[in-house]
Amino acid sequence: MQARSRTIRQEEAYVVMDKHRRIGVVGSGTMGNGIAQVLAQAGYPVLMMDTSPEALDRAAGTIQKSLERLVKKGTLGAEQVSVILERIGRTTKPEAFHDAQVVIEAVPEESSLKKEVFRILDENAGSDCILASNTSSIPITELAAVTKRPDRVIGMHFMNPVPVMTLVEIIRGHATSDGTAAAIETLTRELGKNPVTVQDYPGFISNRVLMPMINEAVFCLMEGIASRDDIDTVMKLGMNHPMGPLTLADFIGLDVCLHIMEVLHAGLGDDKYRPCPLLRRMVQAGHLGRKTGRGFYAYAG
C-alpha cells in the first residue's frame, strides 16, 4: 500500500510542467519549427536542434514571419514578437538537451533514422526527461524500445500547420506511464490545443480514418465512377469537407499517402487497406502533388 502511494506521488510530480525548464525540438523543418513556435508562445524556453545549420536559420525566419502574420491579424501584440523569438535557442548538438524536461522529435519519417535519434536523445537527455515523437505512422513502442526509459516515451502527433491546427493526438506506447501521458496532456492544453489519447496501433486515429477515405477516392477515379472534380465536389458539398479528398491528397503528398496506406496494410493485415494501383502509379511517375507541381491537379510555379 505504501509503495503504491509513493508511485502515485512520483507520477503526479510529472504533471506539473516547469515554465523555466527547456523543451527541446529535434528537426526544425515544416513541423519542428511550428512546434517550437507554439511552445515559445506558451512561455517555454525552447531549444531547436537540427543537423543542418541552414535548416535552423530557415526555421527562425519561418517562425518570425508566422508571428508577424499574427500581429497583422491582431491576435499578437507587436512587442511580443521579439520576446517569443528570444525564447528559442538553436543548436546542432544533442548534448544541449542535458537539462530539458521534454524533447519532441520531428525528423523525417524513416524508422531507422528516428531510432538512431531516440538512441542519441536517450544518451544525452536527463533521466527524468520525456521523449516525444511527432511521427505520423511509426509505432511509439518501437521507438521506446531503443531507449532505457520506455515509460517516458510517447507520441505527440501535431497537425500541419502546427500554429493553426488545434488537435494533438497523444499516442501511448506499450510501456508509456500514466504520469508521462498526464504531463504531455497538460503541456498540450497549455499550448491551446486539444489532446486526444489513442493507443499505439497503425495510423492512430487520424490516418486510420483519413487515408482509407483518400485511397477510396483514388479507386473511384481509377474505376471511372466519376471525374476528379466531381469526386471532390461530392465530399465538399455533400459532406461539408473543407476540401475534396483528391485535393487533400495533393496537399499532403501522394508519396506520404502511399506510405501510410502501406503501413496500415502491413500493420493491420487486412486487404481493405491495400493501396490503390493508381496512387502507386502516380508516385512512380513522380506526380506527388503540390510539392512537385503535379498530382491529381496541376499547380503553377
Q: Where are the alpha helices (DSSP H) in 171-276?
A: 178-190, 206-222, 228-233, 239, 245-252, 254-268
**207 lines the binding site for ligand NAD (CB under 6 A):** no
CA distance 168 to 197: 9
Is residue 91 close enough to count as binding ligand NAD by CB under 6 A? no
Say if residues 44 and 19 touch (Cβ distance below 8 Å).
yes
| Count of CA atoms in the C-beta half-sphere (13 A) of 87 | 23
Q: Are 195 and 189 in contact (CB under 8 A)?
A: yes
Sign of the alpha-carbon torsion through 163, 141, 185, 148 = negative
Instruction: Show the binding pattern over residues 6-45: x = contacts ligand NAD (CB under 6 A), - = does not.
Output: --------------------xxxxxxx-------------
160 binds ligand NAD (CB under 6 A): yes
- Catalytic residue status for 136: yes
Could you tell me the smallest distance in angstroms from the CB atom of residue 94 to ligand NAD? 8
- Least distance to ligand NAD from the beta carbon of 30, Å? 4
Residue 275 per-residue DSSP state = P
- Residue 169: active-site member: yes
Name which position in 51, 80, 166, 199 contacts ligand NAD (CB under 6 A). Answer: 51
Q: Could you confirm whether 262 is annotated as catalytic?
A: no
Instruction: Enter the C-alpha cell of residue 138.
Output: 511509426
**Catalytic residue, candidates 136, 137, 177, 215:** 136
Which ranges in 80-236 belong to alpha helices (H)?
A: 80-86, 111-124, 140-144, 178-190, 206-222, 228-233
* Catalytic status, residue 157: yes
Q: Which is nearer to ligand NAD, 133 or 177 (CB)?
A: 133
Footprint of ligand NAD on residues 92-121 (CB under 6 A)? Answer: 106-109, 113, 117
Instruction: Pick the binder of ligand NAD from 25, 42, 47, 55 (CB under 6 A).
Output: 55
Contact footprint for ligand NAD (CB under 6 A):
26-32, 49-52, 55, 106-109, 113, 117, 134-136, 160
Point out the residues that are catalytic: 136, 157, 169, 207
